[in-house]
Amino acid sequence: MRVQVAIIGGGPSGLLLGQLLHKAGINAVVLERKTREYVLTRIRAGVLERGLVDLLDQAGVATRLKKESLTHEGVMISSNDDYLELDFNKHIQQHVTVYGQTELTRDLYDAREAAHAKTLFNVENVTLNDITTDSPSIDCTVDGHTVHIDCDYIAGCDGYHGVSRQHIPQDKRNEFIKEYPFGWLGVMSETTPVHSELIYSMSDRGFALCSMRNPKLTRYYIQCDSKDSVDNWSDDSFWNELRGRIPEEYAAKLETGPSIEMSIAPLRSFVCEPMQWGNLYLCGDAAHIVPPTGAKGLNTAASDVHYLFTALKHRYQENESTLLERYSQTALKRVWKVQRFSWWMTSMLHRFPEQSLFERKLQQAEFDFLKQNDAAQAALATNYVGLPY
């Protein structure tokens, strides 16, 4: 098989890059380790920055999103029973969009099928060849059959545990990692959201987040020990703990019900430098991970897609490779700004093991300053809605 761009990974970043390339007349194949059905069972965040929504529109896959998504014009930050209702319109005249990542991925798969674009599933034993030459290629097996793919460029959109990043020589690869000593226990339920906007809550008992997918489907999280297990939690124990971590006014309104999904997500920060090696370019979790505080994972992957797609389009339509050469440098500038914001949000809102009273007082002072200072609120709103590309 011969294509211009081979994309490893059939998650939202790989699919979005593939759809944008297709719209630009650039031939690409997407390689996915699992089946489409398996990919669509993954439950992820659904807060989309304005930049990602614009990219989906550009890719021609925003029709259902525009009909079914929720527009959020603010967010609540609370400290025990005290809270700030942050108005995005007041500070930056922008908003975020709530639309489940599963539905976004479904829309991208549907568009790819409608375009008869090539997607290979059940791909295993992936090996990247000659990535520092002008003739890179990929060898793999698909349903047990050997496949060879010649291409000009390879996009590694295969996540933290994927093979792409490992093809950058270890002595040339710098990896920056911060592991947080807690995770998020998440529950999804068919209940009415407790508030029209998201609630990020710091409390003496630990962090909590009240979120939603639609007006009848909620997603709630509470901070838990990094070694905790869902086996230690019942629905009732989760709801009782959540009530104790959000402002009493909203705890009294909380609608509870059976969980339809319960899981624990670890929290870590990770960045790989560089994000390119030869004709291999990393996107999304293959190159960086952020804590879910602030919902920046998918959104930062989207900014990578923007930079890489723009660079590839310049290469094929204008025979100009400068943007490709600068891809890693350009993408990493935004990646580190997002890392800073996610680290700041996480540090302010969570209780850390063996945290001193002095450190707790600083967290409270951070919240008080945010509540009283318009400039601080504008900075949070700017970062939350999404930094420009």
Query: 82-92, pLDDT tens digit by residue?
Result: 999 999 999 99
Decide if pLDDT at 58 tops 70: yes
Q: If you write DSSP's letter for every residue of 48-101 in order, what string do you get? A: E-HHHHHHHHHTT--HHHHHH-EEE-EEEEEETTEEEEEEHHHHTS--EEE--H
Active site residue 361: no
Q: Residue 54 is encoded by which pair of tokens?
A: 């614009």
Average pLDDT over residues 376-385: 97
Domain 180-267+353-385 has what CATH class?
Answer: alpha beta
- Domain 5-70+97-177+268-345 is found in CATH 3.40.30.10: no
Q: Over pLDDT 70: what percentage of the chain?
A: 99
**Could you give phi then psi for residue 137, rounded to 5 degrees?**
-155, 170
User: Is residue 7's pLDDT more than 80?
Assistant: yes
| Residue 41 confidence (pLDDT) | 82
Do the Cβ atoms of 28 and 178 come closer than 8 Å?
Answer: no
Residue 296: active-site member: yes
Full-model pTM:
0.95
- Pick the catalytic residue from 12, 22, 72, 350: 72
- The yes-or-no answer on residue 34 being catalytic is no
Confidence of residue 43 (pLDDT cuts 50, 70, 90): low
Break the chain into its structural domains and give their ranges.
5-70+97-177+268-345, 180-267+353-385
Give the model's confidence band at 299: pLDDT under 50 very low, under 70 low, under 90 confident, else very high: very high
- 250 catalytic residue (yes or no): no
Structure tokens at 274: 């560089």
Residue of 91, 167, 195, 296 marked active site: 296
